[in-house]
Amino acid sequence: MNKRSKIIFICMFCTPLIVSIVMFGISELPVESPSPKNKFKFMTYNIHFGAGMDDLLNLERIAQNILSEDIDPDVIGLQEVENGRLTSHGIDMALWLARRLNMYYFYFPAINEHAYGLALLSKYPITSAKGYQIPSISLERVLIHGVVMINETLEIDVFVTHLGLLDWDEDLEAQVVFVLEKTNQVNTTSNKILMGDFNLEYNSAQLAPVYTVFNDTLGGIPRPRTFPSINLFGEPTESIDYIFTAKNVINIVEGHVISDFLPGNNPAEFGSDHLPVVATLTFP
């Protein structure tokens, strides 16, 4: 092998290795610690695979929706997060959004081609995380549990989920029971948050067991609607996205749905077919 061939070989072999090391290092860099405070903002958002109501894939628009109203959430639960699929150009959406928002993250895929994966994003370290496959009939659904460490004296158990569809003959009562079994198994901290897209109305029989152990941060009746994000024939019609907090432990300062991201009502402003739910909370 002549000198020129050796140089070409070394470049071809080493360059991908160097790039992979650099990229891995970037994804593992520590996030700058947020300033101390006593109020924390949580958000749940079904991002619809990054595609908006105009059917265009745009993760930057998702990031802008998350940051709208100067919310700057501390912890985010995302649903319908893809990774490596042709429909989203092979993008690792959880990693992309975590880098864009400067947050730690944990991603857990559903087994059906990573289409219905979940992600937990946090400004604070996620000290442990685990995913579970929820019993499903049609599309696989999952639940993730992450422990977020705010400081040495405050840890929060955060659960994120996305339940199935009644129209597809899913047993949502069994799925709710499964989720509550997992939340009830946690006894390391009483600071429990359960959030996500439940595909159930607040007054449904299947969701009733959740209300026995958790408070709904959106509270009142009628409950604000979260789906679809824009309706050509009027307002959103369904209220199926939730942030629940452990009863008698966590104080709900405020909760609301972000229903408009820009002046007017342009489909291009909506990064997903769902609207984000935000809750401001304090802990003992």
> Which tokens sit at 116?
């219905």
Q: What's the average model confidence in pLDDT over 251-261?
A: 90
Count the Cβ atoms, other than its own, within 10 Å of residue 41: 18
Q: What's the average model confidence in pLDDT over 84-94?
A: 73
Strand partners, 42: 75, 279
**Lowest pLDDT segment from 78-82, 173-177, 219-223:** 219-223
Q: Which residues of 181-212 are buried (b: 16+ CB within 10 A; e: fewer)?
A: ebbeeeeeeebbbbbbbbbbebeeebbeebee
Is the peptide bond prior to 284 cis by the omega test (within 30 degrees of 0)?
no
Shared domain check, 72 and 5: no
Shared domain check, 145 and 96: yes
175 three-class SS? helix
Closest CA to 37 of 253, 282, 264: 282
Shared domain check, 15 and 88: no
The answer to whether residue 112 scores a pLDDT higher than 70 is: no
Domain of 220, CATH number, reads 3.60.10.10
Q: Classify the phi-psi angles of 134: left when phi > 0, otherwise alpha if psi is within -120 to 50, otherwise beta.
A: beta
Q: Are 95 and 109 in contact (CB under 8 A)?
A: no
Distance CA 146, CA 61 (A): 26
Q: What's the domain count of the chain? A: 2
Report the predicted TM-score, pTM, of the whole model to 2 decimal places: 0.85
Range of the domain at 44: 35-282
